[in-house]
Structure 1
Amino acid sequence: MQTDSLYTGMAGLQAITTRMQAMASNLANLQTPGYAAVQTMTEASLYQGTNAPAGGDATALTPGPDLTQGPLNHTGDPMNVALSGDSWLQAQTSNGTALTRNGTLQISVDGILTDSAGNPILSAGGQPISLPPLTKLEISTDGTVSGVPLSNPSGPAQSYGQIGLVSTPTGTLTPLSGSLYSPPAGIALTPSADGALHQGYLNDSNADPTQSMIEMIDSSRSYQLQTDLMKTQSTASQGLNTLLAQG
């Protein structure tokens, strides 16, 4: 009986720990542009196997990040773009194409348009966008990148490509780092039907600070309660074993 209750207690502690880790990540990334909040849930299931103990297991599940777009925040920085509609930027990483809603852009020393981590942002054709030194960078709502070359500051603006926007793929996105997400394997990315870019803005994190803090406090209390219950069960079992040994 003691073993059964301890199994159930440990399963509960593992589920609570997973939830606390998710809330800690959400709180730590409140200021990360384009961050998608981690979601968790707990599923109860019976132990399986020939010698499985009685009782149920509490299994922590992570159904994937919350894909709701964070609110638009005006920065005034021309190297910032926010997304609206069902849309994602594509970044070329060492592990393949990743999706992001962090529109903190920069231009590498090689003249490549990249994200804040230095990963090239891909065009509508799936290629990096190369830029010469510019006097001014303009990004239109459809992703067209243009500017006046520094070599001819009095000349007209020229177009240098179009940032590719893709819609949310079917399946679960896998968090990589920060606000980068790996699409499901084998799923083709399709152009966004209603996506738009807004220069001078960023998408804030979609994590709710109040809700995350409440859930963190609630999980901490649940963890302490579960730990105390397991200690009480262990003490009671030891006392019963002592009585049986004396009898």
Structure 2
Amino acid sequence: MLKGLYTSAQGLAVLNRQHEVTANNLANTNTVGYKKDRMVASSFPEMFLAKIRDRNAPGEVSPVGSIATGVAIDQVYTDHSSGILRHSDNPLALAISGEGYFVVSTPQGERYTRNGDFHVDAAGRVVTSSGYALQGQKGDLVAPNGDFVVDREGRVLSNGVEIDTLRIVRFATPLTKEGDALFSGDNPVEVENPLLQQGFVEESNVQVVEEMITMIQVMRSYEANQKVMQTLDGTLDKAVNEVGRV
């Protein structure tokens, strides 16, 4: 009976984490370049039960069967599938079609993003909404006249003159999400033939309907686990208070 309580409690903990992941995805539906998270739950290994055939022969057992011992969070991972490219009123906006990430400079070092909603700061640098400078092959990308054109291969032109080439990189190992649509990673590799579109941004890859369905399923499962715990609690209370009187 106590095992049932622990199993239900573990289920509630897993469902609570799933709720957090889903709620965060929904909250970032309109965040440019956001990549949704996914949670994978797995069951604990089943326990094989057996009973001793004879107390005088402890080495001999009879199989009873197996029993599950609950679920646990296996992993929370980021889905890096592309979002829809949407036309932007910002002429300096950029979107990557296919693989790759923009490189930006932060106080913590280089970070990588699919959020191409760039603008020009007072120093003439092309920056993110948080002020992180977009990186070209020559370092911080600077727009001399506050304006620039990026062709489909990532070459940056000002007044028809090529001034730099954007760094678009990919990774062979998983990235670490850091918030603000930024990722960190090791050993970036330059994408040989990037495909960019100026005047567009990449929307988040969150599917609202899918997340809402997940949220409803989580709530229903949470309610079911709560009822199981209440039933077991009532049964345990009855066993303690009534059986003890016999």
TM range, smaller chain: 0.7 to 0.9
Alpha-carbon shift at residue 105 of structure 1 (Å): 0.4
Task: Note the C-alpha offset of 1:200.
Answer: 0.6
Asked if 1:165 corresponds to 2:168, the answer is yes
2:192 is equivalent to residue 193 of structure 1: yes
After superposition, the C-alpha distances for 1:140-177 in whole angstroms (9 at most, x for unaligned) are 112222223xxxxxxxx33321111012x123222211
Amino acid at match of 1:178: D
Q: Is the 8 A contact 1:78 1:138 kept in 2?
A: no
In 2, the alpha carbon distance for the partners of 1:91 and 1:56 equals 46
Structure 1: runs of 5 or more not aligned: 49-53, 149-156
Q: Please tell me the root mean square deviation across aligned C-alpha atoms, in Å.
A: 1.9
Residues 20-42 of structure 1 deviation map (CA, whole Å, 9 limit, x = unaligned):
11111111111111111111110
Mapped partners of 2:243, 2:109: distance in 1? 63
Shift of 1:240: 0.9
Runs (4+) off by over 3 Å: none
Which residue of 122, 139, 142 corresponds with 2:153? 142
Distance 1:62 1:112 in 2: 39
Structure-2-length-normalised TM-score: 0.86
Counterpart secondary structure, 2:44: strand
The correspondence of residues 101-120 of structure 1 with structure 2, limited to 5 A, is: 101-120=114-133
What amino acid is the match of 2:163? Answer: Y
Q: Distance in 1 between matches of 2:214 and 2:202?
A: 24
Matched length: 227
Distance in 1, Cα, partners of 2:226 & 2:193: 50
Question: TM-score, normalised to structure 1's length?
Answer: 0.85
Residue 176 of structure 1 aligns with an amino acid whose one-letter code is: E
Rg: which structure is higher?
A: 2
Task: Give the 5 Å matches for 1:1-247.
Answer: 1-2=1-2, 4-46=3-45, 55-124=68-137, 127-134=139-146, 136-148=147-159, 157-167=160-170, 169-183=171-185, 187-247=186-246
2-structure distance, mates of 1:60, 1:72: 33
Task: Confirm or deny: 8 A CA contact 2:144 2:158 kept in the other structure.
Answer: no
Supply the distance in 1 between the matched residues of 2:235 and 2:131 (Cα, whole angstroms): 58
Change (3 A) 1:22 1:246: same
Q: Is the 8 A contact 2:33 2:202 kept in 1?
A: yes
1:55 is displaced (CA, Å) by: 5.0
